Amino acid sequence: MAKYKKIIKMFLYTALILLVWRLAYHVQLPMIDRELLSSEVSLFGFLDIFSGGALSNYSIVALGISPYITASIVIQLLQMDIVPTLKEWAEEGEVGRKKLNQLTRYLALALAFIQALTVSLGIVAYYGDIFELGVDATAFTYVYLALVMTAGTAFILWMAEKITAKGIGNGTSMFIVAGIVAGFPLMIQQLIGTYITKENGSVGDIFVFFGILLLLIVIIIGVVFMESAVRKIPIQYANRPAAAAFRGRSESHVPIKLNVASVIPVIFASTLMSLPATIVRFLDMNNVIYWIGQIFDYTQPIGFVLYIVLIYLFTFFYSFLQMNPEKVAENLQKQNAYIPGIRPGAETASYLSRVLFKITIVGATYLALVASLPIIISFVFDLPESVRIGGTSLIIVVGVAIETAKQIKTTAQEKQYRGFID
C-alpha cells in the first residue's frame, strides 16, 4: 500500500482542484440579471462543451480552457516555417518548449478577452437589456465583463498547471474531460425522462433505453480499440554489432498511431460549422440571409456532407503536420537507422508518406464515423439535444483516459535507487 501512497495523493490533489473549478462554475457574472436569461435555448452549441455548461450558465469561468486550446493550435501551426523564431524555439528542446508554453498562455489570455467581449455583445444582441437595474450598457461595462471572464480563464490555466505538476495527467486535458463529464448526468437524466419516466410509456421504450446504453458501451469499446491501434514500421541500426542484432536488440520501430491527428480535425470542423449558426442566432437576421446558416448546420444534408469533407481535409493536413515524413527520414539517417528494404533519405520519406497516407484514410474515416454518430443516432431515436452518443467528447475522454492510465502505471512502477551516500 505504501507504494500507492503517491498516486493516492495525486488523485486527491486533482480532485480538490476540480472541485474548486466546479464551485467557480456556480459563481455567475456580475451586473447581469440572471432571471432575464432563458436557460432553455443554448446559443453556443459546440463552444459550450469544454466548459461543462459554464458558458450557458454565464459563469466567471464561462470560457473554460477553450482559449488555451485555440492558442495551442495557432502556435503549433505558426511553427511550420511561418514564424522562423517559433520554429527555432521548437528545436531548442526544454528551453524552447518553456518559451512556447509561455507565449501560448499570453495568446490564450488575449483570445479569451476577445472571445469574452464577443460573447457579452452577443448575449445583449440576442436577449436585449440583460443588466441589473441601474447598470448602463456602456463600453466600460462590456470591458469589465470581458476582464472578469478572462480572469476566470487565467485562474483555470493556473489550476491546470498545478494538476500537471502535482496531480494526475495533463492539467489541460483533465479540465477538458471534466467539462465533458459534467454534462453526463444531464444526459442520463434526459434519457431516462424520454424513455423510462415519461407519461404513456411502453415496454418498447424500456428496451430502446437499454438498447441505447448497450450501443454506447459498444461504441466506447470500439473507440478504445481504435485509439490504441498503432502501425509499427520496423527499423534497424547500421552501427550495432552483429551479436546485438542476433539477440534482437538492434531492432526497433517507428510507431504511427491510426488516429495521428487525434480529435483536432473534428474540433476544427465543428468550430467552423458552429460559428455561422452562432452568429445567425446572435444577430436577428431575416430569412433571406438565414439560409446561409442552414448550409452550415450539420444536421441538414448539405451541412452534413460539408462537415464530413472538412474532417477529412483537416485530418490529412494535421496528420502530415504532426508527423513530417521528410523530417522523420532525416532523423533516421542521422541516427544511422534504416527501414529494411528501403534506402535512406528520399526513398524512406516517400515510403513513410505512402504509409501515412493509407493510415490517414482509415483514421479520417474513423473520425468521420464517430463524429457523425450523434447526428445519425439522434435522428433515428429522436433523442434530446443534450444526449450525444459518440462524437468528439467520447474520443477526448477515451484518449485522456488511456494516457492517464499509462501515467498511473508508470508512476506505480517507479523505483527509487539509492547511492552510497544516501
Residue located via cell numbers 495521428: 260
Q: For the chain, give every residue range classified as CATH 1.10.3370.10.
A: 1-182, 183-416
| Measured distance CA(366)–CA(260) in Å, rounded | 12
> Which of 69-83, 182-196, 249-263, 271-285 is least confident?
271-285
Residue located via cell numbers 515524413: 325
Asked if the 183-416 domain carries CATH number 1.10.3370.10, the reply is yes
| Measured distance CA(55)–CA(415) in Å, rounded | 44
pLDDT value of position 107: 92
> Number of H helices and number of E strands within the chain?
15, 3
Which among 160, 179, 167, 189 is positioned nearest to 59, based on CA atoms? 179
Longest dimension (CA), the chain: 84
pLDDT value of position 249: 46
pLDDT at 245 over 50: no
- In the predicted model, what is the mean pLDDT of residues 158-162? 91
| Measured distance CA(370)–CA(367) in Å, rounded | 5
pLDDT at 61 over 80: yes
| Measured distance CA(324)–CA(329) in Å, rounded | 9
pLDDT digits (tens, 9 = 90+) for 12-34: 999 999 999 888 888 888 877 76
pLDDT value of position 155: 92
Partnered with residue 237 across adjacent β-strands are 337
Query: Domain 1-182, what architecture?
Result: Orthogonal Bundle (1.10)
pLDDT value of position 243: 45
- Contact present, 328 and 346 (Cβ < 8 Å): no
What is the pTM for the complete model shown?
0.75
| Measured distance CA(118)–CA(70) in Å, rounded | 16
- In the predicted model, what is the mean pLDDT of residues 331-336? 84
- Contact present, 335 and 236 (Cβ < 8 Å): no
Residue located via cell numbers 473520425: 367
pLDDT digits (tens, 9 = 90+) for 110-119: 999 998 888 8
- Contact present, 68 and 105 (Cβ < 8 Å): yes
**What does pLDDT average to over the chain?**
78
